[in-house]
Every structure is written in structure tokens, then in C-alpha cells.
Amino acid sequence: MIYHSSKHRDVLSYILNTRIRSTDRPLTRRCTVIWDLYDIEDGVPQKQLTRVQQHLAVHDVCGVIINLSHENISNTAHGLQQYVNFIRLWNPQQVTVWSSQADALQHLQDTVPGIRTLEINFWEYATRTHRGKLRRPKEPRRLVSLNRRYHPLRSQLIHQLWPYRQQLHYTLGATDPWGHIISDEEYHAQEWRGMPPGVQHTVEQWEAHAQPWRSLDCDISDWEQTHTWNFTNQGDVCIVMESRHQSRVPRTHAFVTEKTFRPIAMGKPIIVFGQPSIINTLNTWGYQTINTSADFNTVVHTAQQIATMPDDEYAHKLVYWQQVAQANLKRFNSRTEPLKPLAAAR
């Protein structure tokens, strides 16, 4: 029996291929308890924590999954300390840690010998569980880019593709997506901090003149809804602008979200911009992208080339890209098969 206390129980149930109960229920003699990154950061109630600790001390066949697979996880001692402290509350032999970033898992394994680690990407599985039915696009374009939260680089991308927008479906949000009561100007100013001022001036002038804002008719958190999938389906090639595009320290494994996995799950060719190691990370998992570098200028140049190709050249290239995309889809399906229930934890 597997127990879990907080978020995303439906996805975890799919990953583990079993029913998941609340941690408030009585624990069985052979069970696994899942604690999420959110539980650890918010602080597990001491009464609940003590109850589970006492149960695992008596029943050594039981185990704990510490699920860090939802978010970008540091690979440094300082960045991981909060999770290390939590791991040390348990017998290492009873602990399995999940994360999508292998370098973070290796650091945890070196720091707390005896634990088991498993490379799991929550968003990869979540995308599989929310894959929707698609309708035929009305006006398919060569390129599509879904950008909800405003970011300077996302705006720069649309700015650079503006002359070719007849080949582009896109969204670009203008307001603060998290509901904080600040003006668009204040929000944009926060986002532009640390970016080149010359570029900022050029892009802001364009924004003021072109008013390029387009949003889906839904809340920003409704990433799994059918209309999100159908919008993505309106282009042959998807330009993915991941939320995470920087790393404070060089690392080998990037954080990848549903923004990338959605077009993969749809069999769409992808151009991906994210953390510097994102292409290598995707290649390691068996996925291929059109661009071979995640450098922003390379992403823009690749998209511009596709937008301006003669029709016959584009048709020829698209056949090849779609073959790669189908291989990606096959790999996605194999990687997101449910795990054997307790084998995933023990």
C-alpha cells in the first residue's frame, strides 16, 4: 500500500500503477510513504512525521519515497541541504529519492550513502496522463510557440519572428500571471533586471507599437486542458521556451517541463530553448531536437530559417523532422509506462 499526503496524487498513482491513500489513514505492515518536495519545504507536521517514523522503525520492509521530481533541484551541497536533512530522518536503506536531474541524485547518494535513487521526471509522466484528444487545426502554420508567462527572452523571440508571423501561431502574455497586484510595467521591469539594456529598449519599443499580446482563454495553471493541446497542434514545428534557462553553476542535467513534453507527446518536431545542458539532457533520454544548441541566438536563427524556407525545401525537411518526432513519441511512450508498484520504492 502506498500513502501520500499532498499534491498530484493522480499522477503518482499512474507512475506507481496502484491506488494511493492519504497518510492520515492507518499504515499497513508493508507500505511506502511518499513525501513531496512541497511537504519538506512547508514542514511536515511533527505528529504525522513521528507516526510514520515509528511505523517504519518497527516494519523494516516499509519504505519512504522522497519525491523531488516536480521542480528544478540544485546539485550543490548548500542547495540540497534541506532535503539531506529530511533524508537523514530515516533509515537510508528504506529511502528512495526521485528527481529528474541525475547530477542532483548523484550528489544525494554521495552525501547519504545507502539510499536508493531513481531518475523520474514528474512532468513527463504528467503529460502522459493528461494527453488530450486533438482536433484538426484550422490554419496550420509552420511554427507554433506557446508562451504564457511574460519573459524578456520570450518577447525577444516573437520580436525576432515578427516579420515572419504569417508562418507563426503564438501566445505571449503581458500581465503578471500569478495574480500579484502590480502593473504590467512594474512586472516587466522586474523580469528585465539583469538583461542587456539596449535590447530591452528595442523590444519595449516594439511591444508598445505592435501590442503583440495574445493569451489562451484560460488560467495560466490550466496546462493540462484540451485547448492547450489544440493550440500546440496549430503548427508543424514547436518552439519551446522553457521557464528555466539559466544555471547558477554549470551542470550536466537540465530541468525539463511539460512545455517540452507536450509537443513530444503529440509527435511534433521541436526547437528547444532552456538551460545550457537541455539538449544533452534530452539526448540522454533518447529525444532529438531540430536545434543542436540551446543558445538563444541559435534557436531564433533556426526558427527564422524554417519560416523563410522555399515551400519545396520545407516540405522535404518536414518529412525528416516528422520521422524524428515519431521516434521521440515512441521513446516518450516507453519512458512513461507505469512502474511496478513497490519495485519503484524498494
pLDDT (0 to 100) of residue 343: 43
- By the 8 A CB rule, do 208 and 184 touch? no
Q: Indicate whether 103 belongs to any domain.
A: yes
Place of cell 531564433: 300
When pLDDT is cut at 50, 70 and 90, the band that residue 3 belongs to is confident
When pLDDT is cut at 50, 70 and 90, the band that residue 5 belongs to is low
Q: Indicate whether 345 belongs to any domain.
A: no
Q: Indicate whether 342 belongs to any domain.
A: no
When pLDDT is cut at 50, 70 and 90, the band that residue 336 belongs to is very high
pLDDT (0 to 100) of residue 153: 94
Q: Indicate whether 112 belongs to any domain.
A: yes
Query: Of 120, 141, 156, which residue sits at a domain end?
Result: 120
Residue with the bigger pLDDT between 130 and 178: it is 130
73 and 206 fall within a common domain: no
How many CB atoms lie under 10 A from the CB of residue 212?
16
Give the chain's largest Cα–Cα span: 70
87 and 146 fall within a common domain: no
φ and ψ at residue 2, rounded to 5 degrees = -115, 135
pLDDT (0 to 100) of residue 23: 84
Q: Indicate whether 136 belongs to any domain.
A: yes
114 and 136 fall within a common domain: no
106 and 143 fall within a common domain: no
147 and 7 fall within a common domain: no
85 and 207 fall within a common domain: no
146 and 63 fall within a common domain: no
pTM of the complete model: 0.92
When pLDDT is cut at 50, 70 and 90, the band that residue 184 belongs to is confident
144 and 82 fall within a common domain: no
Residue ranges making up the domain that contains 290: 132-334
Residue 342 is placed in which grid cell? Answer: 513497490
Residue 172 is placed in which grid cell? Answer: 505571449
Q: Which of 251, 285, 255, 245 is nearest to 107 (CA)?
A: 251
Residue 290 is placed in which grid cell? Answer: 531540430
pLDDT digits (tens, 9 = 90+) for 22-59: 888 899 999 999 999 999 999 999 999 999 999 999 99
Name the strand (E) or helix (H) holding 119: strand 116-119
Which residue type occupies 35? W
179 and 79 fall within a common domain: no
**Residue 195 Ramachandran class (φ > 0 left, ψ -120 to 50 alpha, else beta):** beta
Residue with the bigger pLDDT between 186 and 255: it is 255
241 in helix, strand or coil? strand
The tally of CA atoms less than 13 A away on the side-chain side of residue 208 is 8
User: In Å, how far are 52, 140, 166, 186, 319 from 236, measured between CA atoms?
Assistant: 50, 7, 13, 35, 11
Strand order in the sheet with 95-99: 20-22, 2-4, 32-36, 63-67, 95-99, 116-119
CATH of the domain at 111: 3.40.50
Concatenate the DSSP letters of all residues of 175-230 into one string. S-TT--S--HHHHHHHHHTTS-HHHHHHHHHHHHHH---B--SS-TT-TTSHHHHH
Query: Of 83, 98, 120, which residue sits at a domain end?
Result: 120
pLDDT (0 to 100) of residue 139: 82
Q: Which of 222, 32, 251, 255 is nearest to 122 (CA)?
A: 255
Q: Indicate whether 216 belongs to any domain.
A: yes
Domain total of the chain: 2
Residue 48 is placed in which grid cell? Answer: 504525522
Q: DSSP state, 344?
A: G
144 and 88 fall within a common domain: no
Q: Indicate whether 126 belongs to any domain.
A: no
57 and 141 fall within a common domain: no
Average pLDDT over residues 105-113: 96
104 and 190 fall within a common domain: no
Q: Indicate whether 127 belongs to any domain.
A: no
